[in-house]
Structure 1
Amino acid sequence: MFSLQTIFGKGNQFFGLLEEAATAAADSTTALYRMLLERDQPPALDAFRLARQRERAIADQINEELVNSFVTALDREDIEALNSALVRIPKQVERFAERYALATQLLDGIDFAPRAAMLAQAATVVAEMVRQLRRMKLEEMKHLNDRLRSIESEADRLMLELYRDIYAGHFDGQQMFLIKEFFEILEKAIDRCREAGLVAYQIVLKNS
């Protein structure tokens, strides 16, 4: 006979899987930041493809566990929402890296690293928020959510500076188009981090 503790102890694997997914997303952003710091080296894409494969494999495992598990540690819709949000982060990072590798010669002198550093910071905060789901401490999660929101606000400010430089005519037409596209991809990646963090925050709000 199964005890209630045995039954309700199941489903805790989702914490570990979501933590792995958040870590994979954060690792992809760190790899991007390092790539952009090493502008004298040819861009290497293996790290981003591996991160995406890792993320997809974890997402598939989460979906499989949802089908096979009678009891889950979190509401199923919350697991699905957070899983979906985390998958989108390395997707945007890989998109940037692949396009950047094709356009490096046209972007000489353009430094994307400061914005990529902010993306890496945001993804690191998201990973910590996902780890905090085991504890369900509202104050700690609120502090992390405020940090993530602050990073997003600073990223928005930097985007306004970028548009100011574009409209001031500091770049030629081709560069202007490419710079705008690349910064918008980075902005969208930060937005994906914000979305994932918001899902994690709302989970704690609901369960605290």
Structure 2
Amino acid sequence: MFSLQTIFGSGQQFYTLLDEAAQAAYDSTQALHTMMKATDRQPALDAFKLARLRERAASDKISQALVDSFITPIEREDIEALGSALYKIPKQVEKFADRYSLALQHLEGIDFAPRAAMLEQAATVVVEMVHELKKMNLDRMTALNEKLRAIENEADRLMLELYRDIYSGRLDNLQMFLLKEFFEILEKAIDRCREAGVVAYQIVLKNS
């Protein structure tokens, strides 16, 4: 006699698809950090667009799998919520890259690399949290959630330093505007990572 799992599948493909989405999100943050560390900091937008395409493809696969699958390893609403949260990360990163490519000539002497590094660190933790979902280890997920929260707190601290630079008087009006806009985009990207981490943590909390 065949079990329902044999007939309908175990739904384990969702973990693979979520891993793909998290990795695509991370790759976009890695590309941004690499660009910000480069001497010329010339935008190579193809890397960001490729990450977005991969993320979109993973998101579409998740949506289709939810339609096709009778069994899911976790609640459908949770899969949708995590997929949506992951999708927003490379979208925010690409927004930064696109605008940066237009304003590069006005950003001489402004170093975005430290904040881009923090974004990459946050995305690294998200990849780990998504990968850990299949194990449902609450202790491990709690530790990762605290790590992600610490990165977010440090990013908030750096934002205060940003405002100190803005009000220092050494920047012209355009630079002040651009500096604030670009750092807020980076801050929102870190917030997107935090949101994805919270969803992953809550899934484990609910199922442990």
The TM-score, its normalising length taken from structure 1, stands at: 0.97
SS at 1:148's partner residue? helix
Match of 1:80 in 2: 80
Match of 1:139 in 2: 139
SS at 1:72's partner residue? coil
Q: Aligned-residue CA RMSD in angstroms?
A: 1.1
Whether contact under 8 Å (1:7, 1:71) holds in the other structure is: no
Classify 1:65/1:86 alpha carbon distance in 2 versus 1 (closer, same or farther; 3 Å).
same
Report the AA paired with residue 149 of structure 1: R
Task: Report the Cα offset of residue 8 of structure 1.
Answer: 6.8
Alignment of 1:139-178 (within 5 A): 139-178=139-178
SS at 1:101's partner residue? helix
Task: Report the Cα offset of residue 196 of structure 1.
Answer: 0.1
Match of 1:93 in 2: 93
Q: 1: CA distance between counterparts of 2:42 and 2:190?
A: 25
Report the AA paired with residue 27 of structure 1: D
Match of 1:63 in 2: 63
Whether contact under 8 Å (2:8, 2:69) holds in the other structure is: no
Is 1:182 the counterpart of 2:182 in the alignment? yes
Match of 1:17 in 2: 17
Greater shift in the superposed pair: 39-48 or 5-14:
5-14
Structure 1: gaps spanning 5 or more residues: none
Greater shift in the superposed pair: 41-50 or 20-29:
41-50
Alignment coverage as a number of residue pairs:
208
Task: Report the Cα offset of residue 5 of structure 1.
Answer: 4.2
Structure 2: gaps spanning 5 or more residues: none
Task: Report the Cα offset of residue 169 of structure 1.
Answer: 1.5
Q: 1: CA distance between counterparts of 2:154 and 2:200?
A: 21
Q: 1: CA distance between counterparts of 2:116 and 2:8?
A: 41
Listed one character per residue, the Cα deviations across residues 126-150 of structure 1 (whole Å, up to 9, x for unaligned) are 0000000010000000000000000
Match of 1:203 in 2: 203
Task: Report the Cα offset of residue 164 of structure 1.
Answer: 1.3
Whether contact under 8 Å (1:125, 1:144) holds in the other structure is: yes
Whether contact under 8 Å (2:125, 2:148) holds in the other structure is: yes
Task: Report the Cα offset of residue 40 of structure 1.
Answer: 1.2
Task: Report the Cα offset of residue 7 of structure 1.
Answer: 4.6
Task: Report the Cα offset of residue 10 of structure 1.
Answer: 2.1
Whether contact under 8 Å (2:8, 2:70) holds in the other structure is: no
Report the AA paired with residue 26 of structure 1: Y
Is 1:192 the counterpart of 2:153 in the alignment? no
Match of 1:35 in 2: 35
Report the AA paired with residue 178 of structure 2: L
SS at 1:152's partner residue? helix
Listed one character per residue, the Cα deviations across residues 168-207 of structure 1 (whole Å, up to 9, x for unaligned) are 2221100000000000000000000000000000000000
Report the AA paired with residue 46 of structure 1: D
